[in-house]
Amino acid sequence: MSQVKFYSGENIPLEMHKVRIVQKLNLPTVEERLEAMKGAGFNTFLLQNKDVFMDMLTDSGVNAMSDRQQAAMMQADDSYAGSETFTRLQQALENIFGTKYFLPTHQGRACENVISQTYVTAGSVVPMNYHFTTSKAHIVLNGGRVEEVYKDEALNITSNNPFKGDMDIAKLRAVIEEAGAENVPFVRMEAGTNLIGGQPHSLANMKEVRKVCDEYGVMLVLDASLLADNLHFIKTREEAYQNKSIREITREIADLADIIYFSARKLGNARGGGICTNNEEAYMKMREYITLYEGFLTYGGMSVREMEAIAVGLEETMDEEMINQGPQFIQFMTEELQKRGVPVITPAGGLGCHIDARSFLPHVAQQDYPAGALASAIYIASGARGMERGTMSEQRNEDGTEPLANMELVRMALPRRVFTMSQVKYAADRIAWLYDNRDLIGGLEFVEEPNVLRFFFGRLQATSNWPEQLAKKFREDFGNSL
């Protein structure tokens, strides 16, 4: 796993950084956690962070910054137009992607708004390896449709396929043929495919996708939000790239895309986003929307301090010892859970450790939100909060029926360089206890169900007194431990 071998033979990820600023954490008692979970309507989004021991909800905007990033923030050039900070960020992007033009935005979904408004019209079809919530929403909002062309294996929970994020080239061709190339404004490739467990695509596959795009005269757009993890996986899993540097791999990927966009809440370990291209026409078309929705062309809604941090963060992303930290800790947690029999997505991907709630809780019907119930139970057992990624995250049909999700997952995100190994071990240990007591966990039902994006604000209750039973069992097993 780690590049550093231990004499004992143990497979342990080694931190290649030291901690110099810390934030004190609070671990409430199991009784307090039970009350907090009830107060939050069994929705981890509604917990107060003061009640959370390990915040594993997301990797967005919560990654650790480096000393060099913090130092750069002190030298930001705050001017509305023509800021030096913009020039530095634009140059950092040109250095790694080789792209001349850069359009700044306030975050990743803002890039999706701009790209979709520019290129998607009624009847457009956008093929992609897999959708992301906001990417799909913007395409649909502009009258388009998403066609996912993932390989069959992408949705298998356990697999040995190192690149579950690859596109099925035959399906891609078929979708373009059927829609008519003139109705396909672009093909979207997502690095580190978020919703199927942070699974990477290979460079070989992206080259194939490029060939198809050339054949049909269609643009290729790369969502590079989770590129850092994907770079690590290409380097470690794709034979042909083992001796290439991260910088060379990045450049090869970038050269295949017409437009690259990213959320800097993930890529670059700060907060913001942007669109990069060498296509002058695309740049000219999209930039009008930047001034309309984001801000002037030299800040795009971002604070100049964050822009300085992104510029340094992007450079640091070219360091293999930096980008391997997330995936190595995720693999470690995944293996710890596997050892204890807990069903998890394999191979381990980027972003976080993904637990399969359907096989964890086979006795909880999908209509009773097993992934939501498991996320609540994990919080009660550990004070760690993850995110439900299952039926609760879908939208109810107009006739009131539930569209059941393809997968019922709980994502335990590992924000980059934030948690130590003992904390990861603690989370895995509590989840393993929960697995041994899984029969105690029951389902959930909505008491307040918003019409859109219900998973953000919706409130639920337990279908029985299982949360109380769970807390009671915890107290019996752990004595007066927190």
Ligand X SMILES: *Cc1c(COP(=O)(O)O)cnc(C)c1O
Catalytic positions, written as ranges: 80, 132-133, 223, 266, 389, 455
Closer to ligand X at the Cβ: 226 or 259? Answer: 226
Residue type present at position 410? V
- Contact letters for ligand X, residues 229-268 (x by CB under 6 A): ----------------------------------x-xx--
Distances (CA, A) of 109 to 62, 138, 197, 229, 273: 17, 8, 19, 19, 8
117 touches ligand X by CB under 6 A: no
How many CA atoms does the CB half-sphere of 48 hold within 13 Å? 11
Complex with ligand X: residue 135 or 334, whichever CB lies closer: 135
Establish if 95 lies at the interface with ligand X (CB under 6 A): no
Distance CA 391, CA 373 (A): 11
- Taking residues 149 to 188 in sequence order and writing x for each that binds ligand X by CB under 6 A, - otherwise, the string is ----------------------------------------
134 binds ligand X (CB under 6 A): yes
CA distance 13 to 326: 10
The type of residue at 309 is A
- CB 325 → ligand X: shortest distance, Å? 18
- Separate counts of helices (H) and strands (E) for the chain: 18, 14
> Closest CB to ligand X among 11 and 133?
133
- The secondary structure of residue 350, as a DSSP letter, is S
> Any contact of residue 273 with ligand X (CB under 6 A)?
yes
Stretch that binds ligand X, among 45-53, 206-214, 219-227, 403-411 (CB under 6 A): 219-227
* 130-138, 151-159, 312-320, 362-370 -> range binding ligand X (CB under 6 A): 130-138
Classify each residue of 333-349 as buried b or exposed e, where b means 16 or more C-beta atoms within 10 Å of its C-beta: bbbbbeeeebbbbbbbb
Closest CA to 447 of 464, 465, 461, 467: 461
Q: Token pair of 260, please?
A: 């690259």
- Binding to ligand X by residue 108, rule CB under 6 A? yes
Give least dist CB 378 to ligand X, A: 22
Q: How far is the CB of 414 from ligand X (least distance, A)?
A: 14
x-marked contacts with ligand X along 27-66 as a string, rule CB under 6 A? ---------------------------------x------
**Single-letter code of the amino acid located at 290:** I
Residue 199 contacts ligand X per CB under 6 A: no
Q: Rule CB under 6 A: is residue 455 a binding residue for ligand X?
A: no
Residue 200 near residue 347 (C-beta atoms within 8 A):
no
Q: Looking at 144-152, 223-231, 291-299, 440-448, which segment touches ligand X (CB under 6 A)?
A: 223-231
* Interacting positions 401-440 with ligand X (CB under 6 A): none
DSSP string, 207-254: HHHHHHHHHHT-EEEEE-TTHHHHHHHHHHH-GGGTTS-HHHHHHHHH
Residue 418 beta carbon to ligand X: minimum distance, rounded to whole angstroms: 17
Nearer to ligand X, 200 or 442 (CB): 200
CA distance 110 to 426: 37
Q: Work out how close the CB of 114 gets to ligand X at its nearest, in angstroms, rounded to a whole number.
A: 12
Q: Taken in order 365, 366, 371, 373, is the CA torsion positive or negative?
A: negative
Computed from CA positions of residues 57, 419, 326, 425, in that sequence, does the dihedral angle turn out positive or negative? Answer: negative
Q: Near ligand X by CB under 6 A, which window of 200-208, 221-229, 445-453, 456-464? A: 221-229
415 contact partners, CB below 8 Å, separation of at least 6: 55, 56, 58, 59, 62, 63, 64
44, 69, 85, 107: which one binds ligand X (CB under 6 A)? 107
Examine residue 223 and tell whether it contacts ligand X (CB under 6 A).
yes
- Figure out which of the listed residues 189, 226, 309, 322 binds ligand X, where binding follows CB under 6 A: 226
Phi, psi of 460 (to 5 degrees): -130, 175
Q: Nearer Cβ to ligand X, position 266 or 416?
A: 266
The CB-nearest residue to ligand X is 108
Among 101-109, 142-150, 173-181, 227-235, the segment contacting ligand X (CB under 6 A): 101-109
Q: 347: cis peptide before it, omega within 30°?
A: yes
CA end-to-end span of the chain: 32
Residues that bind ligand X (CB under 6 A): 60, 107-109, 132, 134-135, 190, 194, 223, 225-226, 263, 265-266, 273
